[in-house]
Structure 1
């Protein structure tokens, strides 16, 4: 009976969220539970697999965000003040292929590093959103210097 309750709880948790980790955790928990005939072991394995899957996906998405920001920073660093140009991220899988326009709004000279403020757009499907960002030159490379606009954890803190 405990196995059935655990199976239903895992199945419902996978259905109520859009997390890939939840679905993978539920499936691995059910399979482990069935193989060991111990629902507690199945539950523990399911939770562990869910956590590992969620952490892996978040790490990949952070890496992609960093790549996108580095691309925009390099293009904006080379761009003369007031001019605009297109940018695009090309990936082998059909996810995270963003594109848009960017323009350097102003230069921000200071004693620590030469910085620039830029305006860029992100075109996704039928929607275009505009963001501002600050980039700074570190040795010979331009790097992102402001909060990540695409990351929900910043909410109103940016």
Structure 2
């Protein structure tokens, strides 16, 4: 029993240190490691512990991906709505503020041109993402496209967004 408690305590310490040093990408690994050590200690069977650890890590990684994709989608929708409401040549700020301070963002949107494709009316625009809230904070600029459907303006380009949001579009 003492050996199991020692193993669980060690797993807790490792998990705490990993969470403090890492970001969201380490959540799945930490959860999987803690689950593996705890299950292996309780069942005295390391194979069961490894299996549970792998399953917990996969589930936690998927949950983080879904949440991150949703938060990035909020930013894309805010930028698309701002660009869709502007006349060509105009500039307006955009901002997303979530209840939790994760993936908040702000910057400017500038509509460059409007054009008709075979399927929809589209717009090309530039948007900035300002790093931080301090005056004079650096801004990165990206170019993207939106197209209008029956529900409003929707994000239409993948490549410019890859630099900002990775492959989680």
Matches within 5 A, 1:91-130: 91-125=98-132, 126-130=137-141
Matches within 5 A, 1:19-38: 19-38=26-45
- Describe the superposition over 1:70-117 as per-residue Cα deviations: whole angstroms up to 9, x where unpaired: 111111101011110100001111111110011000111223100000
Whether 1:133 and 2:144 are equivalent positions in the alignment is yes
Residue 86 of structure 2 corresponds to: 79
- Describe the superposition over 1:102-155 as per-residue Cα deviations: whole angstroms up to 9, x where unpaired: 10001112231000000000112344211111000011400000013323239x
Cα distance in 1 between the residues matched to 2:141 and 2:97: 20
- Aligned residue-pair number: 146
Whether 1:62 and 2:76 are equivalent positions in the alignment is no
**Displaced runs of 4+ in structure 1, greater than 4 A?**
14-18
TM-score by length of 2: 0.78
Question: What stretches of structure 1 of length at least 5 have no aligned partner?
Answer: none
Deviation at 1:63, TM superposition (A): 1.2
Please give the root-mean-square deviation of Cα atoms over the aligned residues, in Å.
2.3
Residue 89 of structure 1 corresponds to: 96
Residue 165 of structure 2 corresponds to: 151
TM-score by length of 1: 0.83
SS at structure 2 position matched to 1:91: coil
Question: What stretches of structure 2 of length at least 5 have no aligned partner?
Answer: 1-6
